[in-house]
Amino acid sequence: MTENYTEIRPVRPGDEAELTAMIHELAEFERASAECTVTEAQLRDALFGENPVVYGLLVEVDGQAAGGALWFRNFSTWDGVAGVYLEDLFVRPAFRRRGLARRLLAALARECVDNGYTRLTWAVLDWNTNAIALYDAVGGRPQTEWITYRVSGPELSALASESA
């Protein structure tokens, strides 16, 4: 069996096409394709614009984009320091079961440790049993006492109008 060359690296300008494609592939996997509208231009601006709001890692196997992770810093008021919130982690189907997702998580953990961040946080769909098994295996613990809320679309606009 031939060992493949694998590299995990920070995203760089020019990676937007692969990352955008992976985001759309993830949306399809999560049964939410119609909700995914991100474009390469939007992602380029979010990653590399004047005020970047997201960071990324790309995992390549033999030069092919195999997966990636997009994350941003958050802040713990209790700890008084930043943390990392993993927005998306995706490994393309052809590259799964090679430990790439675990290596991406390890790279994010290293980002936390190297910068004095105290938390690495993420969410997972309750039906994604493979991801849940990985997250349990790396020591992740579900935060069952918290309920995630979101307001978007017309409801977001209505709420915003109350501040005018």
Residue 102: give its domain's CATH number: 3.40.630.30
Whole-model pTM: value is 0.92
- Mapped onto helix, strand or coil, the DSSP state of residue 117 is coil
- Domain-embedded: residue 94: yes
Distance CA(108)–CA(162), nearest Å, equals: 38
Tokens 């949306």 locate to 27
Per residue in 22-59, pLDDT (tens digit) is 999 999 999 999 999 999 999 999 999 999 999 999 99
CA atoms within 13 A on the CB side of 31: 3
Per the structure, the count of domains in the chain is: 1
- Domain-embedded: residue 1: no
* CA–CA–CA angle 107, 82, 14 (5° rounding): 50
Selection from 61, 54, 48, 56 nearest residue 19 by Cα: 56
pLDDT band at residue 3 using 50, 70 and 90 as cut-offs = low
Q: Give the residue numbers spanning the domain of 52.
A: 6-161
Element (H, E) at 14: none
% of the chain beyond a pLDDT of 90: 95
pLDDT band at residue 117 using 50, 70 and 90 as cut-offs = very high
- Output the six-digit token pair for 28: 């399809």
